[in-house]
Amino acid sequence: MFKKILRRGLPVWILAIGIAIYYFMMVTKPVAEQRNPPITILKVQALRLEPQQYRVVVDSQGVVSARTESTLIPEVSGKIMSVSPNFREGGFFSEGEILLVIDQRDYIAAVTIAEANLAEARLRLAEEEAATSQAEKDWERLGTDEAPSDLVLRQPQLALARATVSAAEARVEQAHRDLKETRVLAPFEGRILEQRVDVGQVVSPGTVLAEIYAVDYAEIRLPLTTEEFANLDLPPLVRGEVAPDMDNQVVLEADFGRETITWTGRIVRVEGAVDVRSRQIYVVGQVDDPYGPNHDRPLKVGMFVEARIEGQILENVFVLPRLALREGAFILTIDQENSIRRKQVDLLWSNADVIVFRSDEIKPGTLVSLTQMTLALDGMKVVPLINGESSPPSGEKAQGLAGNPDTQRPPEG
């Protein structure tokens, strides 16, 4: 009987003993010491805002072209007898220089024939004038009261003789002009872009002799967005008024191997339409005497250049590095308690390097964080560093603390 009771109650006893052991272990377990983790305050690079003057500089790029380009075409036909040594691709020429000469023999003969025909026409005119004078005298001798007809007085014959002389004079003038055109002269001071003909080739009116361009100026079409164009502050061009002078300077740059060459010019005009595909406005920069000695290297046609255009001057603005801008509209200011405060700014100008803005809410002397932070919340404590050294807070309180070194010490931890 006892064994039967013991066998049935054994599980209960084992369970009770286990509960007692668990309770004893829970009561006697050691208690872990609780410690507060040290508060870490982030050190940030900061910049103190001060109002200043800022010159807007707009970046663009373009391809150099000549202001004047032309196709050289003869006005007479014939064989090319000689060409100038400068009549080669890349050759420079002066205004009025003889670039090539077309065979003149036929045109000299044409001048001789035209002058002979003029002499003959003048003789016919002299004879007709004499005959007309004699006809008038003969009519007067008749003593009649009737008025003589033009045919009696030989007026039509006289008019024809005079017209023949005028035509002969025109043919002489034309013959001399054709003879003169056998010498093809340079219309301006320039350079040969492409030579199309050479000695011995027969040409006619319409034959392209060469592609040439002037070297007095070089031009560059520079595309701008509407915002960039507005910041250039160019004077408007109004129909019926004289084109205003533009004095915006443009600096061009191009690489020659490891060397960067610059040229200085100015904006001379704005093109009349907005590009329908890119929605950009083109302004034209001009460099004087691009092949002259005033430049380190010539500014050649077809060269790709980077351009920096001077724009308007912004007064009393704040300027910050581009990295200070967060989410495209905010900066992180640091208040008197060294706490982060997000401030929204309305940008007047920005590029890849800087942002420029005005704000009535931000006072001069305010510190701005330049450090990129993954999470920046209002009220978060920081230690501002300027040039690697801790800085007092901004504002009036900062001025009162500046003389106390204890208040400038960053919090521990």
Compute the distance between CA of residue 267 and CA of residue 380 in angstroms, rounded to an integer. 49
The pLDDT value given to residue 4: 62
Cα–Cα distances (Å) from 165 to 120, 122, 351, in that order, read 8, 6, 75
Compute the distance between CA of residue 355 and CA of residue 364 in angstroms, rounded to an integer. 16
Cα–Cα distances (Å) from 260 to 252, 255, 297, in that order, read 10, 4, 10
The pLDDT value given to residue 244: 66
CA 380 vs. chain centroid, Å, equals 45
The pLDDT value given to residue 173: 95
Cα–Cα distances (Å) from 266 to 211, 218, 246, 298, 307, in that order, read 27, 11, 8, 17, 11
The pLDDT value given to residue 321: 93
CATH code of domain 62-66+216-313: 2.40.30.170
Kindly give the confidence (pLDDT) of every residue in the chain, 413 residues in length, as a single tens digit, with 9 standing for 90 and above.
556 666 666 676 677 777 777 777 777 777 666 777 666 778 889 999 999 999 999 999 999 999 999 999 999 999 999 999 999 999 999 999 999 999 999 999 999 999 999 999 999 999 888 888 887 877 777 777 777 777 777 888 889 999 999 999 999 999 999 999 999 999 999 999 999 999 999 999 999 999 999 999 999 999 999 989 988 888 777 676 666 677 789 999 998 888 899 999 999 989 888 888 888 999 999 999 999 888 888 999 999 999 999 999 999 999 999 999 988 889 999 988 888 999 999 999 998 899 999 988 889 999 999 988 878 788 888 888 887 666 665 544 433 333 333 333 333 33
**Token couple for 219:** 């031009």
The pLDDT value given to residue 364: 92
The pLDDT value given to residue 413: 31
Q: Say whether pTM exceeds 0.85.
A: no
